[in-house]
């Protein structure tokens, strides 16, 4: 009773359809969209270019309205798309098998930690270095009923403190989680972290940015047991935070613990190749007590968008996008460092994101630049334990003119 509304609803006067549309249009125009603003925001969602063909293909009715392919005989197109996606993710990550996606990077990481807890029978997860704090919130939510202990390591230099990691990893550790590049955009020593994880029989979980794999060594080549990541950079628009795509791939020995859906190839009675769902672990498909996941259908469309994007870009295209991100971010970091009072916070190799120490509060920078339609980056002080500074992301879309304008505006603040 105490939370029930006792007064009348304060609704405005009724309007005609035309007036409602006009009103909604005026409200929507208050949003600062990326057709009219320059974005240096990152932290897990990036302003990458999405080829027009992606929208054209995923808008076809047979894809746009497709439901989970329970009946293989009438779902061959969807099942083939899933199979192609799985194949591309495996090639990109260097892993043995991939599922047909999770909800987003955060839920994928949380499912990976749950898988490790269940597989090893242990109850600790160690986070190596700065991992996306939003992902860690989801991990804590998922693992709370298991009473799992989540241990964090120091990262004063912008990457995992390996000595601290060694001290935190014990024979009770189910998994070691690292993000590569990490939350700050820096490159971690994943080879050393892998040795520390496997020295106690823990699973090694790596959270990736798929674009970075156009240049960086794939996790499968440095001993990752589980690879997760946010698939939004692969042809999925920012859309105010979703729907996105959770990448999830494993080594073969974990195939029966893999959450979600898996499409396989078979031969029908006429000798023709056909596709079917296999090793199903969704609670909608099998007994709930045997299920590893209740991941649902909606990410199928995002999986298709990523498949179309990867097919359009190819190996060379992905490498070129990654190279442009690398080169442009380093150009901008160099130019900002020349401004009096601004400097890079960490002396580490980075991919497309970097942290800048600023002579004025980041809140003031945002306040001054947003009216000029520049989104300057993320204020790290909003995350507990991540220090302060301005975290800037640079994608292939940012032009020299845009970056020089950003630098000039920062210079004018001093």
Residue 365: what pLDDT? 97
Residue 69: what pLDDT? 75
257-273 mean pLDDT: 90
Of the candidates 262, 279, 308, which is a domain's last residue? 308
**Residue among 309, 402, 336, 409 nearest 34 (CA):** 402
143-160 mean pLDDT: 96
Residue 278: what pLDDT? 85
pLDDT digits (tens, 9 = 90+) for 375-384: 999 999 999 9
222 and 83, same structural domain?
yes
259-279 mean pLDDT: 89
CB 248 within 8 A of CB 260: yes
Q: What is the CATH number of the domain that holds 371?
A: 3.90.1150.10
Residue 283: what pLDDT? 59
252 and 216, same structural domain?
yes
244 and 200, same structural domain?
yes
92-96, 242-246, 256-260: which has the minimum mean pLDDT? 256-260
pLDDT band at 157; cut points 50, 70, 90: very high
pLDDT digits (tens, 9 = 90+) for 272-289: 999 988 877 665 666 777
Number of domains in the chain: 2
Q: What is the CATH number of the domain that holds 69?
A: 3.40.640.10
pLDDT band at 296; cut points 50, 70, 90: low
Residue 397: what pLDDT? 98
Residue 259: what pLDDT? 87
Of the candidates 258, 285, 308, which is a domain's last residue? 308
Of the candidates 269, 285, 308, which is a domain's last residue? 308
Within a domain: 299: yes
Q: What is the mean pLDDT of the chain?
A: 93
287 and 181, same structural domain?
yes
Within a domain: 32: no
396 and 277, same structural domain?
no
pLDDT more than 90, % of the chain: 81
pLDDT digits (tens, 9 = 90+) for 335-355: 999 999 999 999 999 999 999
Q: Which domain holds residue 383?
A: 38-50+314-412
Residue 74 has pLDDT above 90, yes or no: no
pLDDT band at 90; cut points 50, 70, 90: very high
355 and 288, same structural domain?
no
Residue 318 has pLDDT above 80, yes or no: yes
Residue 284: what pLDDT? 62
274 and 226, same structural domain?
yes
Within a domain: 115: yes
Residue 297 has pLDDT above 60, yes or no: no
Residue 73: what pLDDT? 78
Residue 260 has pLDDT above 90, yes or no: no
């Amino acid at each position: 009773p105490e939370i029930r509304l006792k007064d009348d609803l304060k609704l405005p006067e009724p309007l005609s359809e035309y007036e409602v549309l006009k009103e909604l249009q005026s409200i929507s125009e208050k949003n600062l969209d990326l057709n009219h603003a320059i974005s240096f925001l990152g932290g897990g969602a990036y302003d990458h270019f999405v080829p027009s063909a992606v929208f054209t293909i995923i808008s076809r009715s047979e894809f746009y309205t497709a439901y989970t392919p329970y009946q293989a005989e009438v779902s061959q197109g969807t099942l083939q798309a899933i199979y192609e996606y799985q194949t591309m993710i495996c090639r990109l990550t260097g892993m043995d098998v991939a599922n047909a996606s999770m909800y987003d990077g955060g839920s994928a990481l949380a499912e990976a930690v749950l898988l490790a807890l269940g597989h090893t029978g242990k109850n600790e997860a160690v986070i190596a270095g700065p991992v996306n704090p939003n992902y860690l919130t989801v991990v804590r939510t998922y693992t709370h009923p298991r009473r799992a202990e989540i241990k964090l390591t120091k990262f004063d230099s912008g990457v995992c403190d390996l000595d601290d990691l060694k001290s935190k990893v014990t024979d009770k550790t189910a998994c070691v989680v690292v993000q590569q590049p990490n939350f700050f955009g820096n490159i971690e020593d994943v080879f050393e972290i892998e040795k520390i994880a496997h020295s106690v029989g823990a699973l090694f979980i790596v959270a990736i940015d798929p674009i970075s794999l156009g240049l960086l060594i794939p996790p499968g080549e440095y001993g990752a047991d589980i690879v997760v990541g946010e698939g939004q950079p692969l042809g999925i628009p920012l859309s105010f935070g979703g729907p996105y795509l959770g990448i999830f791939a494993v080594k073969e020995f974990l195939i029966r613990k893999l959450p979600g859906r898996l499409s396989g190839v078979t031969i029908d009675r006429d000798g023709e190749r056909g596709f079917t769902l296999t090793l199903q672990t969704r609670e909608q498909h099998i007994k709930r007590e045997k299920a590893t996941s209740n991941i649902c259908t909606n990410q199928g469309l995002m999986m298709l968008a990523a498949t179309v994007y990867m097919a359009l870009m190819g190996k060379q295209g992905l490498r070129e996008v990654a190279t442009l991100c690398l080169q442009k971010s380093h150009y901008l970091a160099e130019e900002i460092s020349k401004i009096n009072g601004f400097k890079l916070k960490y002396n580490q190799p980075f991919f497309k994101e970097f942290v800048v120490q600023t002579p004025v509060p980041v809140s003031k920078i945002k306040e001054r630049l947003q009216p000029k339609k520049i989104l300057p980056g993320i204020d790290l002080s909003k995350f507990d334990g991540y220090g302060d500074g301005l975290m800037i992301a640079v994608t292939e879309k940012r032009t020299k003119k845009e970056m020089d304008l950003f630098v000039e505006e920062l210079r004018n603040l001093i």
